[in-house]
Amino acid sequence: MARKIVVTSGKGGVGKTTVTANLGVQLAKNGCRVVVCDLDFGLNNVDVVLGVENLSSFDVIDAIEGRCRPKQALVRHPHYPTLYSLASNRISDRYVSPQAVRLILDTLAPQFDYILIDSPAGIDEGFHRAVACAEEALLVTTPHISALRDADRVGNMLKGYRLSRIGLVVNMVRSDLVRRGEILTPEEIAKALRIPLTAIVPEEDKIFLENVADRVKAFKQLANFYMGAAPEEETEKKYTGLLGAFLRGLKKS
């Protein structure tokens, strides 16, 4: 039965879709059966980030409104055979109840290991719809003050839901700024938000899904975390290059 994990944030543009897509890819690379579900109606772009936008004939609204079966709305990723995309719809003004979406995800759940839900930023109806469908949440923020304030609000909202786990991803971390004390460290952010730190993703010029750069290892580590594999110490030892330096710097400080 699939674990349903919602990826959410207070502010837009902090990396929810990037985290959802990359976590999906890494879980699929480990052989997990994954659905990446886009519930960010209106700003939907999970299919684009996964590179499958031209392959979908149906979306989640088609499944909800009975134009197709839930499974027919899935698009199998051409490179990762256990990774599926469930696209959203550009029509953002239609009311879609959390129950309707949950029914679709519950129908799919027995055939998958993970359903990752990309949610809209903020705390309105779309946020509620996405979180109400999930059992676990991953809050994404950047270290910037404007994002942190919104993350705090969303973090407090999340604590009001029946979730078995809330994790935190601090994205777009620049190790040079951390070292110079110009931004809060991911640990300080986790402490301020009172949410355990699940992953640190450094800022890089381009997040390629198949990048072999050190920073993509952050997503591997995140996938390992959800699979209950690779204790932190071991994973950390494998880090080299920029991320390694960053983690070593964190340890020293």
Nearer to ligand ADP, 51 or 106 (CB): 51
88 binds, among ligand ADP, Mg ion, none (CB under 5 to 8 A by kind): none
Residue 93 DSSP class: S
Distance spanning both ends of the chain, measured CA to CA: 42
44 binds, among ligand ADP, Mg ion, none (CB under 5 to 8 A by kind): none
17 binds Mg ion (CB under 5 A): yes
Interface with ligand ADP by CB under 6 A: which residues?
9, 12-18, 171-172, 201, 203-204, 207
**What are the residues facing 170 on neighbouring strands?**
141, 200
Least distance from ligand ADP to the Cβ atom of residue 26, Å: 14
Measured CA to CA, the distance from residue 129 to residue 101 in angstroms comes to 8
Nearer to ligand ADP, 67 or 149 (CB): 149
Least distance from ligand ADP to the Cβ atom of residue 9, Å: 5
Nearer to ligand ADP, 133 or 172 (CB): 172
Q: Which candidate, 172, 164, 208, 204, places its Cα nearest to that of 189?
A: 172
Q: Which amino acid is at 227?
A: M
Q: Residues binding Mg ion: what is the number (CB under 5 A)?
A: 2
Q: Which candidate, 83, 79, 85, places its Cα nearest to that of 63?
A: 85
**What are the residues facing 8 on neighbouring strands?**
139
Least distance from Mg ion to the Cβ atom of residue 120, Å: 8
The two tokens of residue 252 are 């020293």
Phi, psi at residue 76, to the nearest 5°? -80, 135
Judged by CB under 5 A, the chain residues 82 through 121 that form the site for Mg ion are: none
Least distance from ligand ADP to the Cβ atom of residue 199, Å: 11
31 binds, among Mg ion, ligand ADP, none (CB under 5 to 8 A by kind): none
241 binds, among ligand ADP, Mg ion, none (CB under 5 to 8 A by kind): none
Nearer to ligand ADP, 70 or 246 (CB): 246
221 binds Mg ion (CB under 5 A): no
Q: Which candidate, 47, 71, 19, places its Cα nearest to that of 221?
A: 19
Which alpha helices (H) appear in the chain, and where do they start and end?
A: 16-29, 46-50, 60-64, 98-108, 125-132, 145-159, 175-179, 186-193, 216-227, 232-238, 241-252
Least distance from Mg ion to the Cβ atom of residue 78, Å: 22
Q: Which amino acid is at 86?
A: L
Nearer to ligand ADP, 16 or 129 (CB): 16
Least distance from ligand ADP to the Cβ atom of residue 119, Å: 9
